[in-house]
């Protein structure tokens, strides 16, 4: 019987989005065949916005969901950088 172990990765980063610092919470989803991160952030009213990001064939992290606010969509490149920095720091990439 072959067992595969995946390191649980969860972290929080402050990212400037729409001229405000926002707290993005990341959690790696280990059970899927593709690399996925579950991300959540609060909007201006305190409502949680939850979405997923996946790693494509070129190594870039992109949104899985389409109906996200423009201030999140404009932060995609920065969120990619944050995920890659954490993976390198954790030496899991």
pLDDT in tens, 16-33: 998 899 999 999 977 666
Taking residues 49-53, report their average pLDDT: 96
**Can you say whether the dihedral through the CA atoms of 13, 15, 20, 22 is positive or negative?**
negative
Q: Looking at the predicted structure, is the pLDDT value of residue 92 above 70?
A: no
Handedness of CA 17, 48, 89, 3 (dihedral sign): negative
Average pLDDT over the chain, rounded to an integer = 90
pTM score of the predicted model: 0.86
Start-to-end CA distance of the chain, whole Å, equals 26
């Amino acid at each position: 019987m072959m067992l595969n172990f995946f390191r649980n990765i969860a972290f929080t980063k402050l990212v400037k989005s729409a001229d405000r610092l926002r707290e993005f919470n990341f959690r790696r989803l280990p059970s899927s065949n593709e690399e996925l991160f579950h991300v959540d952030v609060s909007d201006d009213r305190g409502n949680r916005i939850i979405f997923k990001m996946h790693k494509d064939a070129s190594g870039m992290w992109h949104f899985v969901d389409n109906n996200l606010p423009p201030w999140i969509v404009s932060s995609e490149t920065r969120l990619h950088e944050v995920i890659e920095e954490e993976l390198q720091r954790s030496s899991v990439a």
